Amino acid sequence: MKILVTGGAGFIGSHVVDRCVAAGHAVVIVDNLSTGSRKNVNPSAQLAVVDVRSPGLVEIFRAERPQVVIHHAAQADVRRSVDNPVFDADINVLGSVNLLECGRRFGVTRVIYASSGGAVYGDTEVMPTPEDHPPHPASPYGVSKLTVEHYLGCWAGLYGIRAVALRYANVYGPRQSPRGEAGVVAIFSHRILHGQPVLVNGDGLQTRDYVYVEDVADANLAALEDPAAAGPVNIGTGIETSVVDLVERLRASAGTAVEARHGPAMPGEQRRSVLAIGHAKEMLGWQPRVALTEGLRRTLEHFRGELATETRPA
């Protein structure tokens, strides 16, 4: 089938494109390349350099007539959403509405949406957190992600467009940028391989659910292949890992003992976050396959390759 993937030149989106292409689907990527990269683009996919907020997006839909939209384009920096909530809402909410309207006009039947487990649920008393837990987003980013989920539900009721919201845990793996606020595994990996100290916020006992990017891509394909998939679905591992433990695993995998320095705790940071994944197993027949130790090994190997390329003489 014809699939349009927004953010398909980015970290997660490019892996999703790879999975869709490997499964025999025709893929059109919409990406403004603000954080994505042409080097991530699968050669069998088409790339349209367009912002999801652009009025020109409609021309892509008019020309390509996708049957399914997989929506990963987003402003994903939580801190930036706090500093500039208007910018966050412009991209994440208004950009998504523009995308949904284009889909409605040109016959899209299904939408698979990249949502956020931790940001949507906020701090909870139930661990692992299931999909039916009341959402308490603590950042504009979380609010924007939840808002688009509501738009998806509205469009399903008004126009019959079936939608599934994949609520991701902390996704990590190859192609993730080590720059910026998001991506602690990428940031730590980059610093460790450069022999630089790792900075841990607070005591480092805060926990996250780390899920490997290829498992996330598999979840998207499972949602694509199941026409009955709908509503929110957690995509994680169901396993908590503290930041201190994460650092130790990375140091062991890299065979190094770089220093871990503790800085001040980040205001408003979640103390614990881990997702219940029983619904994904039941609805999609999906479960993660890559254990954290193996995923970290693959991630470090990827960054080693990039480091070798950077240091190779011209």
Tokens of 128: 């692992």
Task: Report the pLDDT averaged over residues 82-105.
Answer: 97
Max alpha carbon distance in the chain (Å)?
A: 58
Which ranges in the chain are annotated with CATH 3.90.25.10?
Answer: 172-208+239-275+290-309
180 vs 71, higher pLDDT: 71
Is the model's pLDDT at 83 over the cut of 90?
Answer: yes
Q: Which of 17, 22, 14, 19 lies closest to 39, judged by CA?
A: 14
What does the pLDDT look like over 47-82, one tens digit per residue? 999 999 999 999 999 999 999 999 999 999 888 999
pLDDT value at position 286? 98
**11-15, 63-67, 225-229, range with the lowest pLDDT:** 225-229
The CA radius of gyration of the chain, in Å to the nearest whole number, is 19
Is the model's pLDDT at 283 over the cut of 90?
Answer: yes
Are residues 246 and 184 in contact, defined by beta-carbon separation less than 8 angstroms?
yes
Q: Which of 289, 297, 148 lies closest to 221, judged by CA?
A: 289
Is the model's pLDDT at 254 over the cut of 60?
Answer: yes
Q: List the CATH code of the domain at 172-208+239-275+290-309.
A: 3.90.25.10
pLDDT value at position 285? 97
Is the model's pLDDT at 123 over the cut of 80?
Answer: yes
Is the model's pLDDT at 268 over the cut of 70?
Answer: no
For all residues of the chain together, what is the average pLDDT? 95
pLDDT value at position 182? 63
Question: At the topology level of CATH, where does 2-170+212-235 sit?
Answer: Rossmann fold (3.40.50)
Query: Residues of the chain with pLDDT > 90: what percent?
Result: 89
pLDDT value at position 156? 97
Say how far residue 138 (Cα) sits from the centre of its chain.
18
Secondary structure (3-state) at 102: helix
- 58: which DSSP letter? H
**41-45, 209-213, 279-283, 307-311, range with the lowest pLDDT:** 307-311
Are residues 250 and 188 in contact, defined by beta-carbon separation less than 8 angstroms?
yes
Token pair 């022999």 is found at: 195
Is the model's pLDDT at 313 over the cut of 60?
Answer: no
pLDDT band at 270 (very low <50, low <70, confident <90, very high): confident
Global pTM reads 0.95
Is the model's pLDDT at 267 over the cut of 80?
Answer: no
| CB-CB neighbours of 305 under 10 Å | 11
The 10 Å CB-count burial string (b at 16+, else e) for 246-285 is bbebbbebbeeebebeeeeeeeeebebbbbbbebbeebbe
Secondary structure (3-state) at 43: coil
- Alpha-carbon distance of 12 to 175, in angstroms, equals 8
Q: Which of 68, 12, 64 lies closest to 40, judged by CA?
A: 12
pLDDT value at position 308? 77
- Alpha-carbon distance of 135 to 211, in angstroms, equals 21
Which ranges in the chain are annotated with CATH 3.40.50.720?
Answer: 2-170+212-235
Is the model's pLDDT at 180 over the cut of 70?
Answer: no
Task: Report the pLDDT averaged over residues 119-144.
Answer: 95
Task: Report the pLDDT averaged over residues 85-90.
Answer: 98
Residues with active-site annotation = 141
φ, ψ (nearest 5 deg) of residue 115 = -100, -170
